[in-house]
Structure 1
Amino acid sequence: MKRAIALLLAAAMAITMLASCGTNEKQAYLNAMLEGTGFSGVVLVTKNGKTVCEAAKGTENKFSNKKITADTKFCIGSVSKQFAAAAILLLRQDGQLSADDKLSKYFPDYRYGNELTIRHLLDMRSGIREFYDVEYIDDAFTELPTGELRGVITNDNTVEENREILEDWLLRQPLEFEPDTAFEYSNSNYFLLARIVEIVSGQSYNEFLRERIFKPLGMTHTTFIDDVDLFGQPDMAQPTVTPQTVYVGVTMGLGDMISNARDIDRWLTSLKTHELLDEESVDMMTTDYTNEDDDDDEEEENYGFGIRPCGDGLFHSGYFSTYLTMIYTAPETGFNVFAVTNDDTNPNIDISEIGWNLIDGLDI
C-alpha cells in the first residue's frame, strides 16, 4: 500500500511538472516520480540510441560514499534469459542446430528426450520441473534449490560440480505436464539451454556470450556472477542485505549476468538493427507462444523466447536478492527503458511500476 500511495503521489507530481515544463518535460517527469522515494538505482530511457531521460541515485554500498551512476553495474536476474535464447538463435543462424531438435540429440539418456525439443525449453512449454523454491529472507527475494537439493548443491562445491549435480537431477525428474499443453515459467529450461550452447559450440556458455554477443555490441561492463567476487566487483552496486541464495554455478543461462544501463541499451537496440540476430531470429524470439488454453493468460504471462511480448513492445523483469530489474523495448519506435534497484526492500519503490508509469506517461 505504501508503494502504491508513493507512486500515485509521484505520478500526480510528475503530471503537474510535465504540464509546466517545456524544456525537458520527460526528465522532469522522471525526477518527480522518484522524488522523496529514497530510490537507489538507475533509470535510463533512450530513443534510437539517444538519451531521453535518466536518473542515477544512491551509493554503491552502505560502507562507501561512491555515487551510483548510469555506468554502475547491477545483477539483472532473469533479464539474463533473453541472452540464452539469443545464443541458441545464433547457433541456429550458424546452421548448427534447429529449434525443433529433440533433446535426445544433446542428452541421449534423457527419458523425455524424444518428446521435448529446444523450442519447448525456449517458450517455457516443456513441463520440466522448476528447481528453485522462493523464500523471503531478511525481506529479500531469495531463490534456493528445492529442498532435496539443498544439502547437495552448496557453495562448498565448485561451479562445475554444482552444474553437474543439477543437470543430473533435472534429467531424472518427471514432467509436470505433457509438453506443449501449457505454459509454466521454469528456470530449469534456461539452465538446460545454456548447457546445449556449451555442447554445440564446444565453448563455455560464458565465453560464447562474451565472444558472440558482448564483444560485438561493445558491452564492456557485462559479466557473470560466477566469474567475479560479488562484493569485490568494481563499480557495482551491492545488495542491501547479504545474499542468502546458493548461486554458484546454477544461475547459468537463467539469472547469471551482471550489467549496466548502457550495455543493456545496446543489446535492446540490436533487436531493432539486427546487428546480431537476423529478422527471422528476432521474429522467433518475440512471438507470443502462450495461448488462451493455458492456465493463466494474463498479459504478464505472455512469453516468447526469453522475453515477453506486450502490445507493440517487449519486456522482462529480473530478481536476484535485493536487485530488481525491468527492461522494455519498442522496436518500431526505437524506445528502450531500463530500470534497476539494488534495494528492493525499500517500501516506496516498485521497479515494474516505475517502468510502466514511464512507458505510459512518456507515451513510449
Structure 2
Amino acid sequence: MKRTQHRTVLLLSYVLSAVVLMICTFSLNTSIVQASQNQATKDIPIEVTVKGEIPQWGIQPFLYNGTTYVPLRDTAEFLGASVRWNATKKSSQLDIQGDTIFHKPGTAIFDVNGYTIKAPANSLTRQGTTMVPLKSLADVLKANIRFTNQSLKAIDISPDNVSLLTKETEAADTYLKKQGFSGMALIANNGEVILRKGYGYGDENKLNRPDKETRIASLTKSFTAAAIMKLAEDGKLALNDTLEAYVPGFPEGSQITLHMLLSHTSGAAANFTRTDGMSLQSTVDELKKKPLDFKPGTDFKYSNGGYVLLAYIIEQTSGTSYGQYLNDTFFKPLGMKHTGEATPSKNTTKGFVLSKGQWEIADYYVSQSGTGTLYSTVDDLLKWDNALNTEQVLGQDSLDKLFTPYSSKNYGYGWMIKKLGNSTIVFHNGSGTGYSTGLSRELGGGITIILLGNHAGMDMLNLLDGVRESIR
C-alpha cells in the first residue's frame, strides 16, 4: 500500500514538473513573438535629406513595417508644394505646378487631378502629424529619390526639376486637364520652353512624367520624309524616281513616283498586316498584291502603306536599316538621345485603351518602319522642331518642299499645312494602339506645341488648336 502511494506521489511530481515546463516554454515563446512584433512595428528613425541637406523636421522620418514615412506637410513644402487643409473633403490639399493633390489621413489614397494613386500602406498619425509613405508622396509630386548609402537607410529627395508651368501657359494647362488629356505636353516659344508637364497615368498606379519616352505614332512620318529629302540631297535618289526602280512588279509602279508616296497621292493601299516581328520585306510583298485605291497622281488618300514603301527605299539606297539611318543622320547629330525605333522590350510609357468604360493598358502597338515605329520625348522632338527652323539637317530647298501643300488636303511631305492669320502652321497627328499624338509648329519660329498622348481616341487636331487658342 505504501509502495503504491509512493509511486502515485512520484507520478504526480513528474506530471507537475512537465506542466510547469510547458507553461514556462509557452511564456518564453510568447515573449519572443511579442518582442519580434514590437520590433517589426517600432518606429525606426531613418535619415532623409532634401537636396543633400538635413531639413528641420517637425517629426523625424521613420521606417515602419518596411515602409519609410515622412511628415506630409513638411516634405511637400520642402519639395515646392503649398499645403492646406480642405475641410470640405476632409483632406490635405497640395498644389504644385498646376496639379491639385488630395490625401485623406488614415488612407492609402492620393488623388491627383482626378487620377487615383494608391500607396503601399495607409498614412499614420504621430503627435498630431500625418505621416505618409515617402515613395508615394514623391511619385505624386514627381520628385526624385536616391539612396545615399549602401545600407539603404539614408535617402535624399529633390524637387521635380523637369516639369515647368509659366504664367502664360496656365490657361493651356487648365484646358488640357479639362479635356482629360493623358500623356506628355510641351509648349515652346521660339525654342524656349514655357510648359512641360506630364498628365494622367504612365503605367498602372503610376503618373506620367514629362521626360518619359513614349511612342509617337505617325509623327514618325516627318522623319521618313526628311530622310528621303536627305538622300535626294546626297544624290542617292530623286523625287521623280518611279517605284518600279525599287520595287519591281508593283501595280502601276512605273507611274508612281517618290513624290506621290510622300504626298499620299500614289493610290498605294493604306493598310497591311500588323504582326510583331513581320519584316519590312514581307510587308512590301503584301502591298504588291493589293490593288491601288486610285490612279496614281489623281487623288489624295492617307496611306501608311506608302510610307512603308518609302522606308524600304531608304534602306535600299542608304545600305543600312531604316532606324540606323535615322539615328546616324538626325538623332545622333541633333543630340536626340531618347529617340529610336521601338521594340516590345523597350520601356516606354504604356498606352491605354477604353474597355467597357474603363481605361486599360493596351497591347503592344505594332507598326512598321516608316509609319509609326518611333519612340521619343517632348524634349527630343523640340530639338527636331528647332532643326527644321534652320539648315542643320536639310537645305532650305528641301525644307520648302516638306512644307508645300500638294493636294486639296494641304498635305506636304510628312506634314499638313494651314494658314493662321499671318502665320503658316505645319502640323501632324498620329494614332496607334493606346496612343494619340500631335505636333504643331509655326514656320520660321513662334509657338510649338507637342502633345504625346497615351490614351487612344483623343481628338488630337482639336487639342492642338485648343492649346494654341488658349495661349494667343
Query: Aligned equivalents of 1:101 and 1:159: distance in 2?
Result: 27
Alignment of 1:302 onto 2:410: yes
Any conservation in 2 of the 1:154–1:246 contact (CA below 8 Å)?
no
Of 28, 45, 51, 2:170 maps to: 28
Alignment of 1:150-189 (within 5 A): 154-155=275-276, 158-160=277-279, 163-189=280-306
Alignment of 1:1-364 (within 5 A): 24-35=166-177, 38-63=180-205, 65=206, 67-132=207-272, 145=273, 154-155=275-276, 158-160=277-279, 163-225=280-342, 227-230=343-346, 233=347, 236-240=348-352, 241-244=360-363, 247=366, 250-291=367-408, 301-311=409-419, 312-344=424-456, 350-363=459-472
How many residues align? The count is: 297
TM-score, normalised to structure 1, is 0.76
Q: 1:37–1:124: structure 2 CA closer, same or farther, 3 Å change rule?
A: closer
Q: 1:223–1:216: structure 2 CA closer, same or farther, 3 Å change rule?
A: same
Q: Deviations over 1:335-362 (max 9, x none)?
A: 21101221246xxx64433321121232
Query: Aligned equivalents of 2:239 and 2:310: distance in 1?
Result: 11
- After TM superposition, give the deviation of residue 130 of structure 1 in Å: 1.7
Secondary structure of the equivalent of 1:173?
Answer: coil
Any conservation in 1 of the 2:432–2:456 contact (CA below 8 Å)?
no
Any conservation in 1 of the 2:338–2:376 contact (CA below 8 Å)?
yes
- After TM superposition, give the deviation of residue 266 of structure 1 in Å: 0.8
Query: Aligned equivalents of 1:309 and 1:242: distance in 2?
Result: 33
Matched residue type, 1:303: Y
Query: Aligned equivalents of 2:248 and 2:379: distance in 1?
Result: 41
Q: Deviations over 1:275-304 (max 9, x none)?
A: 10110001111100113xxxxxxxxx3210
Query: Aligned equivalents of 2:435 and 2:235: distance in 1?
Result: 37
Any conservation in 1 of the 2:251–2:291 contact (CA below 8 Å)?
no
Query: Aligned equivalents of 1:314 and 1:306: distance in 2?
Result: 10
- After TM superposition, give the deviation of residue 100 of structure 1 in Å: 0.5
Secondary structure of the equivalent of 2:372?
Answer: coil
Any conservation in 1 of the 2:281–2:312 contact (CA below 8 Å)?
no
Any conservation in 2 of the 1:102–1:115 contact (CA below 8 Å)?
yes
TM-score, normalised to structure 2, is 0.59
Any conservation in 2 of the 1:269–1:334 contact (CA below 8 Å)?
no
- After TM superposition, give the deviation of residue 177 of structure 1 in Å: 1.0
Query: Aligned equivalents of 2:390 and 2:242: distance in 1?
Result: 31
Query: Aligned equivalents of 2:180 and 2:447: distance in 1?
Result: 26
Secondary structure of the equivalent of 1:60?
Answer: strand
Any conservation in 1 of the 2:176–2:467 contact (CA below 8 Å)?
no
- After TM superposition, give the deviation of residue 102 of structure 1 in Å: 1.1
Q: 1:50–1:128: structure 2 CA closer, same or farther, 3 Å change rule?
A: same
Any conservation in 2 of the 1:326–1:355 contact (CA below 8 Å)?
yes
Structure 2: where are the runs of 5+ without partners? 1-164, 353-359
Q: CA RMSD in A?
A: 2.1
Secondary structure of the equivalent of 1:208?
Answer: helix
- After TM superposition, give the deviation of residue 70 of structure 1 in Å: 2.0
Query: Aligned equivalents of 2:456 and 2:253: distance in 1?
Result: 39
Question: Identity over aligned residues, as a percent?
Answer: 29
Query: Aligned equivalents of 1:37 and 1:334: distance in 2?
Result: 24
Any conservation in 2 of the 1:344–1:350 contact (CA below 8 Å)?
no
Normalized per residue, the structure richer in helix is: 1
Matched residue type, 1:239: G
Query: Aligned equivalents of 1:62 and 1:331: distance in 2?
Result: 38
Q: Structure 1 residues 306-315 or 325-334, which shifts more?
A: 325-334
Normalized per residue, the structure richer in strand is: 2
Q: 1:200–1:27: structure 2 CA closer, same or farther, 3 Å change rule?
A: same
When Rg is computed on C-alpha atoms for both structures, the one with the higher figure is 2
- After TM superposition, give the deviation of residue 164 of structure 1 in Å: 2.6
| Structure with more contact order per residue of length (Cα contacts < 8 Å, sep ≥ 6) | 1
- After TM superposition, give the deviation of residue 38 of structure 1 in Å: 4.8
* 1:16 equivalent in structure 2: none
Q: Deviations over 1:10-51 (max 9, x none)?
A: xxxxxxxxxxxxx94322212321345554212111122211
Any conservation in 2 of the 1:87–1:197 contact (CA below 8 Å)?
yes
Secondary structure of the equivalent of 2:240?
Answer: coil
- After TM superposition, give the deviation of residue 56 of structure 1 in Å: 1.7
Q: Deviations over 1:99-130 (max 9, x none)?
A: 00111211223342211111110000001112
Secondary structure of the equivalent of 1:273?
Answer: coil
Structure 1: where are the runs of 5+ without partners? 1-22, 133-144, 146-152, 292-300
Q: Deviations over 1:204-253 (max 9, x none)?
A: 0010001101111111111212x3515xx1xx321123435772xx5210
Secondary structure of the equivalent of 2:203?
Answer: coil
* 1:17 equivalent in structure 2: none
Any conservation in 2 of the 1:80–1:255 contact (CA below 8 Å)?
yes
Query: Aligned equivalents of 1:329 and 1:270: distance in 2?
Result: 12
Any conservation in 2 of the 1:72–1:260 contact (CA below 8 Å)?
yes
Query: Aligned equivalents of 1:313 and 1:246: distance in 2?
Result: 29
